[in-house]
């Protein structure tokens, strides 16, 4: 089974994807994470990617396609895949279709986390990432505590694109370029809508209600 997690920036795709990885042994392909890995390498490409991300725009499709193909080709045999934050425009939908055919895979469902703009802003402004264990927390909704996070708060970091002005541009990029992707998956009957404003645990239950009957 291969799944696409869809939704605006800050919808909680990463959080839900991590739960699915832990419980159901998926491999998660997050294009945002792949890009941030590239930035951390401090290559020329990484610097170029950081400039684009910090503007709130989408990174070029060719760069994304290469990163995704490297990952799919490596993990294609053993694992079911979750795509998080990909595809983000109609060209990427075509690229993904091409890659799925090449590696003999199919998308089983597309889960759309629907979230209001007000909640998105709060989720993004509160978002913190542990640089040691990679887990995502939120100051307002899911704070890191001594009990739930043994690494401690000194490892928590904010993303450089999680600033108020950039969030507005990211949301408008989403509306203009990414939303049309939904119609495509609706037309091929793969789309499931989920109330992403709900609590993390309720959203996860809803996701499991949808995917568990689909088998493996
Ligand atoms: P969010 O979903 O909160 O925006 P991500 O980590 O998925 O967070 O993405 C962060 C940024 O990385 C995006 O704003 C965009 O600039 C870039 N990005 C991520 N995925 C893609 C993609 N598939 N195509 C183009 N750019 C992408």
pLDDT(155) > 80: yes
Domain ranges of the chain: 3-115+176-214
Residue the block writes with tokens 């990909």 = 86
> What pLDDT is attached to residue 49?
97
Best CA proximity match to 133, nearest among 117, 118, 150, 145: 150
**CA 95 to ligand 1 center in whole angstroms:** 16
Residue with the smallest CA separation from ligand 1 atom 10 is: 32
Mean pLDDT calculated for residue range 197-208:
96
Secondary structure (3-state) at 158:
coil
Mean pLDDT calculated for residue range 138-161:
93
Secondary structure (3-state) at 191:
strand
Mean pLDDT calculated for residue range 110-127:
92
pLDDT(118) > 90: no
**CA 23 to ligand 1 center in whole angstroms:** 25
As a CATH number, domain 3-115+176-214 is 3.40.50.300
Question: Any idea what the Cα angle at residue 195 is, between residues 191 and 199, rounded to 5°?
Answer: 135
Average pLDDT, the chain: 94
Rounded CA-CA distance 216/126 in Å is 35
Residue 30 alpha carbon, nearest atom of ligand 1: 7
**CA 30 to ligand 1 center in whole angstroms:** 9
Mean pLDDT calculated for residue range 143-163:
94
Mutate which of 6, 35, 92, 177 to test ligand 1's pocket (most atoms within 8 Å of Cβ)? 35
Residue 112 near residue 83 (C-beta atoms within 8 A): no
Ligand 1 first shell, C-beta below 6 A: 9-10, 31-32, 35, 52-53, 57-59, 64, 85-86, 88, 92, 161, 170
């Amino acid at each position: 089974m291969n799944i696409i997690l869809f939704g605006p920036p800050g919808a909680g795709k990463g959080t839900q994807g991590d739960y699915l990885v832990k419980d159901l042994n998926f491999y998660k392909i997050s294009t945002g994470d792949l890009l941030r890995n590239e930035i951390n390498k401090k290559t020329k490409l990484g610097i170029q990617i950081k400039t684009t991300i910090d503007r709130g725009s989408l990174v070029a499709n060719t760069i994304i396609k290469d990163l995704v193909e490297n990952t799919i080709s490596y993990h294609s045999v053993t694992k079911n895949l979750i795509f998080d934050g990909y595809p983000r425009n109609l060209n990427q939908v075509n690229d993904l279709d091409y890659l799925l055919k090449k590696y003999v895979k199919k998308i089983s469902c597309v889960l759309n986390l629907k979230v209001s703009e007000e909640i998105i802003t709060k989720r993004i402004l509160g978002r913190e990432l542990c640089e040691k264990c990679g887990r995502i927390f939120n100051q307002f909704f899911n704070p890191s505590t001594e009990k739930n996070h043994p690494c401690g708060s000194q490892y928590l970091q904010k993303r450089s694109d999680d600033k108020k002005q950039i969030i507005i541009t990211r949301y408008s990029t989403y509306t203009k370029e990414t939303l049309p992707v939904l119609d495509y998956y609706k037309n091929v009957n793969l789309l499931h809508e989920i109330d992403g404003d709900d609590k993390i645990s309720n959203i996860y239950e809803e996701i499991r209600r949808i995917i568990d009957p689909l088998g493996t």
